Amino acid sequence: MHASVIVFPGSNCDRDVKVALAASIGHEPDMIWHGDTDLPKTDLIVVPGGFSYGDYLRSGAMAAHSPIMREVVSRANAGVPVLGICNGFQILTEAGLLDGVLMRNAKLKFICRDVFLRVERTDTLFTSHYTQGQVIRIPIAHHDGNFETDKETLKRLEGDGLVAFRYCDQGGDLTIESNPNGSIASIAGIYNEKRTVLGMMPHPERLVDMLQGGTDGKPMFDGLVEALAA
């Protein structure tokens, strides 16, 4: 299995994702510079976290129009799975691969801490190694993670089962306190219609080894490898 990690000026989680992928795949992914126009043969594309282009204009807006993103969009439309984490999620919404928008956190603060997420479905490439409704602990680190959509889009996301993760408390309940950034319907991550593209604000790559304090992110990468290595 081959994976590609896109690197923008200002990406800062690209190497974390590289380590996480390498641990699950058994060899390192290709690191692709944003100015490139072509992708190698790849079974998975990861758009990592960070502050691409210094978050100028809007988070993810400049990166979404980087030369490489034309190729990412075209591969995604051809069915190649894409995982966008944090800034990567923002970039995928700006590039039109995912619905909605990530706005400034409701309380205007940058938040960096672990949160609990509820896994909404497990019949996807990304979540097959979790169990339905499982509560996992994953770190967030963002200023613009307040997911918003209009009412019609939200209805479609909910109706079509496109919500991947929701912020919850330790017992899996959705409360005002357990929603760190004001996201609508406590949404922490969403899929595209075919569930081949996932965008999420939390960082699964930051908990894949006991040295990092936990491994709740590892099943995502192991699940992807199992699904895509065949």
Partner 1 sequence: MKAKIHVTLKQGVLDPQGKAVQNALGSLGFSGVESVRQGKYIEIDLNETDAELAKGAVEGMCQKLLANTVIENYSIEIAD
Based on the shown chain and the rule CB under 8 A, indicate whether residue 107 belongs to the binding site for partner 1: yes
The whole-angstrom separation of Cα 98 and Cα 193 is 9
Residue 46 three-state SS: strand
Task: Choose, from 71, 94, 120, 205, the residue flagged as catalytic.
Answer: 205
- 15 vs 104, beta carbon nearer partner 1: 104
C-alpha separations of 60 from 8, 90, 141, 156, 162 in Å: 10, 5, 15, 24, 21
What's the burial of 57, exposed, middle or buried (CB within 10 Å: 0-12/13-18/19+)?
Answer: exposed
Q: Of 20, 144, 126, whose CA–CA distance to 87 is shortest?
A: 144
Based on the shown chain and the rule CB under 8 A, indicate whether residue 43 belongs to the binding site for partner 1: no
The whole-angstrom separation of Cα 13 and Cα 15 is 6
Based on the shown chain and the rule CB under 8 A, indicate whether residue 149 belongs to the binding site for partner 1: yes
Binding flags for partner 1, 47-86, as an x/- string (CB under 8 A):
----------xx--xx--x---------------------
Binding segment for partner 1 (CB under 8 A), chosen from 38-46, 94-102, 113-121, 201-209, is: 94-102
Binding segment for partner 1 (CB under 8 A), chosen from 23-31, 39-47, 117-125, 148-156, is: 148-156
Based on the shown chain and the rule CB under 8 A, indicate whether residue 103 belongs to the binding site for partner 1: yes
Based on the shown chain and the rule CB under 8 A, indicate whether residue 173 belongs to the binding site for partner 1: no
- Amino acid (one-letter) located at 161: G
The whole-angstrom separation of Cα 23 and Cα 222 is 9
- Residue 27 falls in the annotated catalytic set: no
Based on the shown chain and the rule CB under 8 A, indicate whether residue 155 belongs to the binding site for partner 1: no
Q: Which residues bind partner 1 (CB under 8 A)?
A: 57-58, 61-62, 65, 93-94, 100-101, 103-108, 146, 148-150, 182
Residues classed as catalytic: 86, 203, 205
